[in-house]
Every structure is written in C-alpha cells, then in structure tokens.
Structure 1
Amino acid sequence: MVSLPESVLLVWMSDIEFICGVDEAGRGPWAGPVTAGAVILDPDKPIEGLTDSKKLSEKKRLLLEPQIKAHAIAWAVVHVSAEEIDRINIREATFAAMCQAVQTLSVRPHQILIDGNALPQNLPVPAQAIIKGDLTEPAISAASILAKTARDRLMIDLDTQFPGYGFAGHKGYGTAAHAQALSQLGPCAQHRQSFAPVRKVMRLRA
C-alpha cells in the first residue's frame, strides 16, 4: 500500500465538501439527557440501510453504529443533562446539544443539515433545517442512529444507578410502567422536573 504525502492528503481533503448531518434523541422522555449526534459521511464509503433510527430495530441500529463510526470522516455525540434541560428548557437544551456535537467534530464541516424545522443559533457554518431529514439525508440518518444508540446505552447504565424506574426498558419515556414507578418512588436526580408528569408527582408528594 502506497502512503500519500501529507501535502497531497490535505489537497485531496480540501476538494471535498464536508456535509454534516445532525439529529437528536431523547427530546420527549421524562428522564435522562437529550442527546445529539453529528456525522460527516465519506461519499466514497456509502453505508447501506441508513434511515430514521426510530424506524430501525435495536439490533439493526447496533449493527449500523460501528459501521458509521468506522467509515465516517468525523462523528460526535453529546449529552445535555436533565438538570440543564430544567434550567434552560428542552428546546434550548436540544439546540445546545446539537451545537456542541458540531463543535466537537474533528473536522469542520462546510454545511450542516439538521432534522426538523428550526435551527440553533451560533452554528459555525451555513445550516439548513430539513423536515423528516432523517428519512432523506444519509448524514442525518447516521447522526440519528448514533444519538439513539448512545442515549440508550446511557439509560441502561442509569438503570443500575437508579433502580426501580425501569430506565433500561423504556429509556425514560412516559410509559405506564414509568408512570407507576414515578408515583411510587418519586422523582430521582435523572427526572426532568420541568416536565408536567414529573412536576405533578412532585406536587402530590410535597
């Protein structure tokens, strides 16, 4: 295998337009962080099966995750805590996670594509919001998958730290089992106190 001089590699990279896909996971749950992924895919290394992470089985997401990490030009995942969500609200916390994920990338993108209909402020390069972009833009799909798998893994870890709530199963979402555990045990440090179901339990237990 012939190694290219660094100067040649830099010229080659300068000819590529780095498109960064960004998506979040965990905006709706009652507990745990909101997580954002940012991915710059390599056009010379396409990955089959990319789509909205919610439309993939857990097994398929876990198969795609290492492929994305191995073949992407750059990727990053950032969590913003429940405490920060309560402090600045879920919308701003989601935007903060997205901005931090982009800023954490080892390569600066030329353009950012974000799933949804709104853009965070202070992004470093031009950006476009795309409704259902996780279905149409592979880079956003990849970001969606990395955010989802990383957050799910974190919630499984939190289940051992905060037993009884079932975080490993429902991942903090508002299921009947979660509502019952919340009512019986009260909120823990991972619950979003600004969310109405958690706030209601806090009032009842006050």
Structure 2
Amino acid sequence: MPYEAPTHSVERSLRATLGARIVAGIDEVGRGAWAGPVTACAAVTGLRRPPEGLTDSKLLTVKRRTVMAEQLTGWVTDHALGHASPEEIDELGMTAALRLAAVRALEGLSVVPDAIILDGKHDYLGNPWQVRTVIKGDQSCVSVAAASVIAKVYRDARMAELGMEYAAFGFADNAGYPSPVHRAALEAWGPTPYHRLSWAYLDSLPRWRHLKKVRQIIDEADEAEQLGFDF
C-alpha cells in the first residue's frame, strides 16, 4: 500500500519556534499486550535524509522491519531504549508505565534533547520536557518513525526469547498480544511470570482469575488497553 514518507517538518518547526537544536522522537510498543514489557525508544536523527522506505513499523513486513532497524541503529545520531516491566505496569497503570519507559529511554541518550515528539495525542511525559504530540507521528515524523521501528524489532526479539522458555504461548509469533494460541495456553497453564496480572483477560479465565491484581484507580485509557487494544 502506498504511503507518504515521513519528513522532518515537525523537527524543523520545533527548531524554528523553540530553538530546539536536538529533537528526540519517542514511540512505544507493547501497550496492548497481555505479556511482556512496554518498550519505548527515543531516537535523535538530526535533519539528514533517512533510509529509503522508513515508515511506521506496523506498515513494514517482519523482514523489511528487521533490515530497517539494522540500518537505523547505524544511521541515527543517538538512540536508547527504556522498558517498564509487567510488575510495574500492574502497580502503576499503563499511563505511568509509559512515562517510566520513556524517561528511561531519554536517560539513556548521550545528550539531553531540547524538545521531544511523542506519537499520539496524549502527553504522558509532561514537565520538565518540551513535548509536541503528533497523531500518527510514526508515519509523518522521521525521528518518531525511526523510534517506532527500533522499539518494535527489539521488543519482538525479546518476546521471541521468552517464547523459547514458554513455547506454548506463541510469543515468537504474537509478541505477547492477544491471539487464539495465547489464550489457549493461558486457559491451560495460567499466566507466566511475564504476564500482566491487572489485565481484564483474567476475568474470562475461571481457573486463574483469582490471580488478578486490582488497582484502586484505572483511567479510561488503561481500561481500553486491558481489553487488548493497541494504539
């Protein structure tokens, strides 16, 4: 399917309006999964021409995405990954877990960005960062698209590693997201140590619902995530 290649227009705008010389794009993966961490990547790309074919990771085949990630890690000016564990997601909720993962990614950079572009419409970072949110930023902004690909490939590889330990769950194929194989394994074996125990999938598993951890406050976005939606 044809798509418009991402540009540096938002990065240039932040440079012009805020004087931001260093702009980091952030994207995350794993938000709607039942198992595994939520992973964020912060990528600094400058204003150089990106590798041909760069776009949102979800629009690339597995093979093309893997090749693109290899290209990007040598092309970006700087990048770092941050993660929030299933335990942290259960304890904090998804919004706070996203912030934790993103902050860890930002702290992993060798430089402190002057401004940040977040994919989506919600600013889950807040102060003290200068944040610009961009809906479908992973398709329109070079730095966010780069972060999208790097984060997706890294997390998929990590979930495939976990799949060798828990083969019945199909993590190599579903990356911890809802799937028939994943649900069948949950019904038979119950959640692994890598599952999120505050998610609503446990409500439909009579043998295992007693394991569910209930937080006192769940915002609307978290409820949507627990139903398995990936934004």
TM-score (normalised: structure 1): 0.87
1:78 to 64, 82, 86: 82
Report the Cα distance in structure 2 between the residues aligned to 1:183 and 1:135, rounded to whole angstroms.
37
3-state DSSP of counterpart to 1:30: coil
Flag structure 2 segments of 5+ consecutive residues without an equivalent: 1-18, 213-231
| Equivalent residue, structure 2, for 1:203 | 209
Per the alignment, residue 112 of structure 2 pairs with: 108
Tell me the CA shift for residue 153 of structure 1: 0.5
- AA in 1 matched with 2:209: R
Conserved 8 A contact 1:65-1:149: yes
Report deviation, 1:102. 1.2
Alpha-carbon distance between aligned partners in 2 of 1:200 and 1:87, rounded to the nearest angstrom: 21
Q: Does structure 2 conserve the Cα–Cα contact (< 8 Å) formed by 1:191 and 1:198?
A: no
Question: Is the contact made by 1:45 and 1:71 (CA closer than 8 Å) also made in structure 2?
Answer: no
Task: Say yes or no: does 1:193 pair with 2:197.
Answer: yes
Partner of 1:59: 63
In structure 1, the residue matched to 2:47 is: 43
State the secondary structure of the residue aligned to 1:22: strand
**Equivalent residue, structure 2, for 1:23:** 27
1:155 corresponds to: 159
The alignment yields a C-alpha RMSD, in angstroms, of: 1.9
Whether 2:120 is the aligned partner of 1:138: answer no
Which secondary structure does the structure 2 equivalent of 1:164 belong to?
helix
Structure 1 counterpart SS, 2:202: helix
Unaligned runs of 5+ in 1: 1-14
Alpha-carbon offset, residue 109 of structure 1: 1.3
The AA in structure 1 aligned to 2:167 is: P
1:120 deviates by 2.5
**Structure 1 range deviating more: 177-186 or 121-130:** 121-130
The answer as to whether partners of 2:41 and 2:105 remain within 8 angstroms in 1 is: yes
C-alpha deviation, 1:125, in angstroms: 3.2
Q: Distance in 2 between matches of 1:204 and 1:46?
A: 49
Q: How far apart are 1:27 and its partner, in Å?
A: 0.3
Q: Deviations over 1:81-139 (max 9, x none)?
A: 11111111122111211121112111211110000111124554311111111110010
Q: Deviations over 1:18-38 (max 9, x none)?
A: 111000001001001100011
Which residue of 2 is the match for residue 184 of structure 1? 188
Contact 1:36–1:79 (Cα < 8 Å) also in 2: yes
Aligned residue for 1:20, secondary structure, equals strand
Q: Could you say if the C-alpha distance between residues 205 and 136 of structure 1 is closer, same or farther in structure 2, counting changes exceeding 3 Å?
A: closer
1:96 aligns with 2:100: yes
Higher Rg of the two aligned structures: 1
State the alpha-carbon separation in 2 of the partners of residues 138 and 111 from structure 1.
14
Equivalents in 1 of 2:25, 2:192: separation in Å?
33
Distance in 2 separating the partners of 1:170 and 1:92:
24
Larger CA deviation: 194-203 vs 162-171: 194-203
2:129 maps to which of 125, 132, 152: 125
Q: How many residue pairs align between the two structures? A: 192
Deviations 1:16-75 (Å, cap 9, x if unpaired)? Answer: 811110000010010011000110003235322111111111111111112111111100
